[in-house]
Amino acid sequence: MPKSSKKKKDKVADFSKAKLKLGKGKKLPTNVVDTSFKARSIALPTQSITVEKDHTVPTTRRRQTFNDILSLLKHYSAGTRKDAIFSARELFENHPELLESSITPLVGACVRLIADEDPSVRKALLSFFWWLLPRVRRDAIVPHIPLLLLFTTSAQTHIFPEIRIDAVRFLDIFLGIVPETVVDGWDESHPGHGKRALEGYLGILNAGTKMGGAEGTAQATSTASVVLSPQSKLVVLRSLSSFLGLAVDPQSLTSGLSGPDVCLPAISLPTWFLRPSFTCRRLYEENVTVFQVPQDVNSGKQVVWNVQPELESFDEDFVYDSKTMSGPPDAAWTLNDLSKNFFEQDDSSRALGDIPFVMRLTRTLYATLTATSLDCAPIVFSLSTNPPETDLQMLTAALQITRTLYSAILQNTKHGDIRQSCEELKTLLGYLTGYFPFKPAHGEVKMEQAFQDLNVIYCELTSLLVLVSSRSDTGYVQCGNSRLRPPRSKAASLRGDAKLDVQAKLVSSYVIRLLRGEGESGSQLPRPVSPTVYTALLPTIWALLNQVTGLGGQLGNESSLVLSATLDHALRTTANSGVKRLTIEFVARLLLLEKERGYTGHFNPRHAGEDRKFREWVLHLPQALWELGTGNFATSQIIICVLLRLLHRGSCVIQCEQISSLSSRLVPFFLITHPIRGQVLGKIRGGG
């Protein structure tokens, strides 16, 4: 019975008609099929049959021309903008002839992506600039650098920290291409982008964007409140170190050039640490150029001397015109004018940047440098494990900034009171003295090299304080064209510092071991000193050679040990070593100081007590010259110049016996008596 009633209900439902309510539409069945359609028109003007196509225009694999790429760089989609950057690189790789003609519109489109909010776009642009800028001629890219720097320095103050860090990475690229433009105006001496870049660095580091006035503490005006991660802080510190290194020392700008047309010169011997030991700059520069060979000698040019030279064809450094010198002068010169001009030329300090500004900047960065050293030192100098690379590089960058700033201040002591700077530097070094000499927990080549760099920087900073101390101990300071004796309290302020004496002894022991090739444990094999490390150690060696002890101002025992190690290293270095030329020039300069005009330093080779080693070093020069042969012209040239200067000027270590020995050792260069072949011409042949 229930079954039949259900069938009746189903039949009624199949044929019943639903009643429609007022205002309601007809209900569609569940199995209805939508048969409506829509049509849209697609405009493809580039594919129109009415447009003539130019198949000679360079394109990418996606058939994109340069104009297409420029339009895609402004696309609203971040992925499209990133792909457009890759397409631009592909286009210029396949068609490099388009590069210079397209650089102007390309830069105009790319500068807006420096502060792009999408990280993948900024990363692609960084990679593109690293590849692109070194391939563009320098004179073609220089006009566009101001626009690039304008957008980059603006990105340094962006609201997002990630964009600020990437802006620093863009600055690194520009520092490698046109460093002089990036640092121009950094010290506020004239308008330039360097000021904005420096303020951007300080703002990111929360160090303040103003250096305050000439007196007082720095004014921290940064509004940034984001704490940087170690990786981000490392990027900023390394970039700031490069920026300050190029800005503070203008002579280093030439080393920042890069590109296919730039060749790296040989490492030159630094001599800036000798400047305070001379009474005036003119005499110091005479000492610097003592081993310089005129360019005419290298090129083979010869000039015949005449009583009345032809001015049109004469090409010497100094031309004597008898008419000009014997005739009446155009304007009368007074004695005061001559004296004023003399002292302006001799005692004018070629300041490494604006020193008062550098002093204010140093006070501003002092807290950041101190915090970085205190945070990283316990981790880096751990005795159990080798440090993370981030902390090691961060500490290295902080010490490099310290070396750049304090070197500029302590090398130019005429610009004001440097006692505060000395105290700051001593405090910074005091945080690291307990770990010195620095060594890794486990011996790895990469780690040992990094720790050696830290040791060299520590030695350089200590040598600056020692040089200032020895300068004060002389009892005289330069003041215009007079020499005035400072008060005794100032002269003894650094000498009586026991901490400085301890640091100097530690540095002296490290330098002696390094020059002798000894490891920290005494059982390691001797390690050669690279040219870079040797040149970095020279200020330290000079400071230790001039370090005085006691009230009598006598050279201490440490100076004798350092001199002995320096001479042993110079004798032990092979002729074909890259550091041989540097050792020869440095030891020769030490010997020539005895008779240099205006030299007032403590060190004197006559009283050094190493006459035997000095004579041995002089007599080994012909052997080194013979071993070199024709393999190293620069080293051979410096050996010949050293022998000429020593024999011409004379020296306390060169007597008749040494001259006779040198003569006999130089004979084989001209003539050799062979037991079978008889007399044979030596390496220096006639007419060669």
What does the pLDDT look like over 138-181, one tens digit per residue?
889 999 999 999 999 999 999 999 999 999 999 999 999 999 99
Percentage of the residues of the chain whose pLDDT score is greater than 70: 72
Lowest-pLDDT choice from 13-27, 212-226, 299-313: 212-226
Whether the pLDDT of residue 625 is over 80: the answer is yes
Q: Mean pLDDT throughout 639-660?
A: 84
**Could you give the CA distance from residue 251 to residue 473 in angstroms, rounded to a whole number?**
30
Whether the pLDDT of residue 496 is over 80: the answer is no
**Who has greater pLDDT, 675 or 656?**
656
Q: Work out how many domains the chain is built from and give that number.
A: 1
pLDDT tens digits along 374-430: 999 999 998 888 899 999 999 999 999 999 999 988 887 665 678 888 899 999 999
**Could you give the CA distance from residue 529 to residue 378 in angstroms, rounded to a whole number?**
28
Query: Is residue 376 in some structural domain?
Result: yes
Maximum average pLDDT range among 5-9, 57-61, 122-126, 498-502: 122-126
Q: Mean pLDDT throughout 7-27?
A: 73
Lowest-pLDDT choice from 157-161, 246-250, 371-375: 246-250
- Banded model confidence at residue 519, pLDDT cuts 50, 70, 90: low
Q: Mean pLDDT throughout 71-77?
A: 92
Whether the pLDDT of residue 534 is over 80: the answer is yes
Query: Is residue 504 in some structural domain?
Result: yes
Residue with tokens 């070593």: 577
Q: Both tokens of residue 681? A: 């011409």
Which residues does residue 255 pair with via DSSP β-bridges, in sequence order?
Answer: none
Query: For residue 107, with 0-12 CB atoms within 10 Å meaning exposed, 13-18 middle and 19 or more buried, which class applies?
Result: buried
CB atoms within 10 A of CB 625: 20
Are residues 647 and 303 in contact, defined by beta-carbon separation less than 8 angstroms? no
Q: Does pTM surpass 0.85?
A: no
Query: Is residue 548 in some structural domain?
Result: yes
Query: Is residue 654 in some structural domain?
Result: yes
Whether the pLDDT of residue 512 is over 60: the answer is yes
- Banded model confidence at residue 683, pLDDT cuts 50, 70, 90: low
What does residue 427 show for φ and ψ, rounded to 5 degrees?
A: -65, -45
Are residues 81 and 73 in contact, defined by beta-carbon separation less than 8 angstroms? yes
pLDDT at 266: 62
3-class state of residue 555 by DSSP? strand
Query: Is residue 409 in some structural domain?
Result: yes
Query: Is residue 30 in some structural domain?
Result: no
Are residues 197 and 149 in contact, defined by beta-carbon separation less than 8 angstroms? yes
pLDDT tens digits along 183-207: 998 988 778 889 999 999 999 988 5
Neighbouring C-alpha atoms within 13 Å toward the C-beta of 415: 20
pLDDT at 290: 85
pLDDT at 518: 77
pLDDT tens digits along 332-348: 555 444 444 444 444 44
Query: Is residue 594 in some structural domain?
Result: yes
Query: Is residue 159 in some structural domain?
Result: no
Maximum distance among all Cα pairs of the chain, rounded to whole angstroms? 150
List the domain range (segments joined by +) for residue 371: 355-472+498-681
Outline where 289-354 has alpha helix (H). 295-299, 322-326, 335-347
Angle, helices 119-132 vs 78-94, to 10°: value is 10
**Could you give the CA distance from residue 406 to residue 26 in angstroms, rounded to a whole number?**
90
- Banded model confidence at residue 221, pLDDT cuts 50, 70, 90: very low
- Region label for 64, one of left (φ > 0), alpha (ψ between -120 and 50) or beta (otherwise): beta
**What is the chain's mean pLDDT, rounded?**
78
